[in-house]
Amino acid sequence: MNGFPILSVMLAIPAVAAVACLFLSANAARWLALIATLVDLVLGIVLWAHFDIGGAQWQFQENVPLFGSFGWALGIDGFALMLIMLSVFLMPICIGASWQAIQTRVPEYMSAFLFTELLMIGTFAAQDLFLFYIFFEGGLIPMFLIIGIWGGPNRIYASYKFFLYTLLGSVLMFIAMLWMAIHAGTTSIPVLLNYDFPVHAQMWLWLAFFASFAVKMPMWPVHTWLPDAHVQAPTAGSVILAGVLLKLGGYGFLRFSLPMFPEASHQFIWLVFGLSAVAVIYTSLVALVQQDMKKLIAYSSVAHMAIVTIGLFAFNVYGIQGAMIVMLSHGLVSGALFLCVGVIYDRLHTREISRYGGVAFVMPKYAVLFMLFTMASIGLPATSGFVGEFLSLMGTYQVSTWTALLCTTGIILGAAYMLYLYWRICFGEVKHDDVKLMPDLSLREVALLAPIAAVVLWMGVYPESFLAPMRKDADILMARIERAKPAGDSHLMTTKAAPAPATQAEAE
């Protein structure tokens, strides 16, 4: 791309459009937002096309020193590329989903979304510690506004809860970042990635980062903001929240916790595995008894994110690549599921599951797409859900058969709550007269859901397109954390040789 600052341009477009929106009429703001996000999508495709797979670790680097050691440093690797693609792919869909659903303060709404896009791309592209921090925490603000202004009846409580949770984490992370910058004498992320912090300091740093990422993830037991935020958020807000904002935590673990504090990560595997295993079972069971569609999907998100965390802390390429694919897949699938909820919410204005039933009779097209996303969420092979879950759990098995067993129960419980949901909404007789009058998907709605469906199948049948850009980065990360790799509890012994090595490993 010979020097063309494509990342800066991708940040500038939503920034400019966001400001411009505020001065436009409702309709003009919609169109401007759509065009801006589509342009960013095109730029994203260009970015992907020019990304040199297997080439340099950091590509499209830009570096403008501003003051002190702080600089406008951007650059991406394969992980960041994929997450940027996810963001720019979902953004136009969010704008499209808000086309008719949002009728009040449209310019401000569009502006908030464009700012969200800016902050998300920035988070993934930032190469300076504090630049990252600004983008990472800044993402909170537009989301806070989207829920607080355009949300449901209980929006103030939800946005406040959302804010309170994330605030706590970010304060601790900021302190840790300050300490790191002082201790290492640099704020450059690529440099810090290869800097070895003293082991005792790693523990504290790891925990401080963990406080922030665990909330963002969200991990059990700091997940309770998510169901409320989702329930109150407008449809597009839920899409972006589940689709991209939940990926910030996983990205954080991948970018900071693992490579910068490998020894501490090793020490805290038990914590991550324990919380994740609880999350899978606990939130899946909670999802089973939900009466509100959005809450159900929100709880299922927590369970899916637990599969990400175990994969990341499995300390092998299967887990890491699998976790990344789960993140991408979950971004698409849960986004699509929230859109599916939005579609029928727009018609009946209720999220109460029991108010539906027999929707497959009146909305066959909808039923087909909803079934596809349900199956993807369950992790049926040939959908994106399977590839990630399979790899992540496989990686986990190599470290802990217990964790693998407990987390694999997610495939049973996931099937139970998703199929139960699908039954209550789409199947059965049409019990309510207003359901009978629901029109099938409009062209606009098909245009929102069909692209996601296509990518879900693509990622399921030929995930190589998505795995290839990340392969080298997973290897680099592995090379970095190899020294802290846990032994695993399988201890295969091929001969009747002395059990000495095994007991040694067990003693660790």
Specify whether the CB–CB gap between 238 and 155 falls below 8 A: no
Specify whether the CB–CB gap between 6 and 46 falls below 8 A: yes
Q: Which is nearer to another protein, 331 or 388 (CB)?
A: 388
In angstroms, give the least distance from the CB of 317 to another protein.
Answer: 4
In angstroms, give the least distance from the CB of 215 to another protein.
Answer: 10
Residue 285 exposed, middle or buried by CB count within 10 Å (0-12, 13-18, 19+):
middle
Site residues (CB under 8 A) for another protein, limited to 72-131:
none
Q: Which is nearer to another protein, 348 or 419 (CB)?
A: 419
**What sign results for the dihedral spanned by CA atoms 326, 9, 126, 226?**
negative
Q: Which phi and psi (to 5°) does residue 135 adopt?
A: -65, -45
Please list, in sequence order, all residues whose beta carbon lies within 8 angstroms of the beta carbon of residue 471, skipping any fewer than 6 positions away: 53, 54, 78, 321
Site residues (CB under 8 A) for another protein, limited to 326-345:
none
In angstroms, give the least distance from the CB of 506 to another protein.
Answer: 8
In angstroms, give the least distance from the CB of 463 to another protein.
Answer: 6
Site residues (CB under 8 A) for another protein, limited to 132-191:
160-161, 164-165
Q: Which is nearer to another protein, 433 or 508 (CB)?
A: 508
Please list, in sequence order, all residues whose beta carbon lies within 8 angstroms of the beta carbon of residue 261, skipping any fewer than 6 positions away: 197, 202, 203, 205, 206, 209
Q: Which is nearer to another protein, 207 or 288 (CB)?
A: 288
Range in contact with another protein (rule: CB under 8 A) among 40-48, 188-196, 335-343, 487-495: 487-495
Site residues (CB under 8 A) for another protein, limited to 237-296:
269-271, 273-274, 277-278, 282, 285-290
Site residues (CB under 8 A) for another protein, limited to 369-428:
375, 380-382, 386-387, 390-391, 393-394, 397-398, 400-402, 404-405, 408-409, 411-413, 415-416, 419-420, 423, 426-428
In angstroms, give the least distance from the CB of 361 to another protein.
Answer: 8
Give the H or E element holding residue 67.
Answer: strand 59-67
Start-to-end CA distance of the chain, whole Å, equals 49
What whole-number distance in Å separates Cα of residue 461 and Cα of residue 327? 17
In angstroms, give the least distance from the CB of 371 to another protein.
Answer: 8
Output the six-digit token pair for 449: 């859901």
Range in contact with another protein (rule: CB under 8 A) among 35-43, 180-188, 440-448, 485-493: 485-493
In angstroms, give the least distance from the CB of 115 to another protein.
Answer: 25
Output the six-digit token pair for 126: 């930032």
The secondary structure of residue 128, as a DSSP letter, is B
In angstroms, give the least distance from the CB of 218 to another protein.
Answer: 11
What whole-number distance in Å separates Cα of residue 187 and Cα of residue 376? 40
Q: Which is nearer to another protein, 483 or 491 (CB)?
A: 491
Residue window 201-230: x/- pattern of binding to another protein, with contact defined by CB under 8 A: --------------------xx-xx-x---
Give the H or E element holding residue 33.
Answer: helix 26-50
In angstroms, give the least distance from the CB of 419 to another protein.
Answer: 5
Q: Which is nearer to another protein, 27 or 401 (CB)?
A: 401
Specify whether the CB–CB gap between 143 and 50 falls below 8 A: no
Q: Residue 491 interacts with another protein (CB under 8 A)?
A: yes
What whole-number distance in Å separates Cα of residue 70 and Cα of residue 223? 33
Q: Which is nearer to another protein, 145 or 314 (CB)?
A: 314
Count interface residues toward another protein (CB under 8 A): 79
Instruction: Please choose, from the candidates 357, 401, 394, the residue with its C-alpha nearest in 3D space to the C-alpha of residue 379.
Output: 394
What whole-number distance in Å separates Cα of residue 228 and Cα of residue 226? 5
What whole-number distance in Å separates Cα of residue 29 and Cα of residue 33? 6
